[in-house]
Amino acid sequence: MTGTLAMAAAPRRSAMHDLTRVRLTLAPRPRRARSLALVAALVGGAFAGGAAIGELLIGKAPAAVVRQPAPTVAEVQQVQQLRRQLEQATMGLRLAESRGHELERQIDALNQKLTESQDELTFFRKARDGRKH
């Protein structure tokens, strides 16, 4: 008798029961995790190596020293004069701005007084017209 027939002939065991006890391997276990770790390590190593080689090739350039001739007395005086003119222009601009703000404040106050005077005039006119009737 073969193993298949023996399984079917056994009174207590069913064929399904025997199949569930058999260990079947359908495909080999995936080795993705190990492969991914290896690829990541290789890419990281290549990147680090490239960065190290880049640093060696570029190296540290010596600091550039630029020597300029000292400015002449005339240039220094011209710069000082331009700075004074700039300070005067800035002061004039600030003064004009403050005058403008003050004038705006005075105009607002006058407009408010005008509105109040117009309201009073309207009140007196209505009061006068009310007496005539």
CA distance 84 to 75: 14
How would you write the chain as a 3-class SS string? CCHHHHHHHCCCCCHHHHHHHCCCCCCCCCCHHHHHHHHHHHHHHHHHHHHHHHHHHHCCCCCCCCCCCCCCHHHHHHHHHHHHHHHHHHHHHHHHHHHHHHHHHHHHHHHHHHHHHHHHHHHHHHHHHHHHC
Confidence at 61, pLDDT banded by 50, 70, 90? low
Q: What is the pLDDT of residues 73-104, one digit of tens each?
A: 899 999 999 999 999 999 999 999 999 999 99
Percent of the chain whose pLDDT exceeds 70? 72
Q: What is the model's pLDDT at position 5? A: 46
pLDDT at residue 54 greater than cutoff 50:
yes
Q: What is the pLDDT of residues 105-122, one digit of tens each?
A: 999 999 999 999 999 999
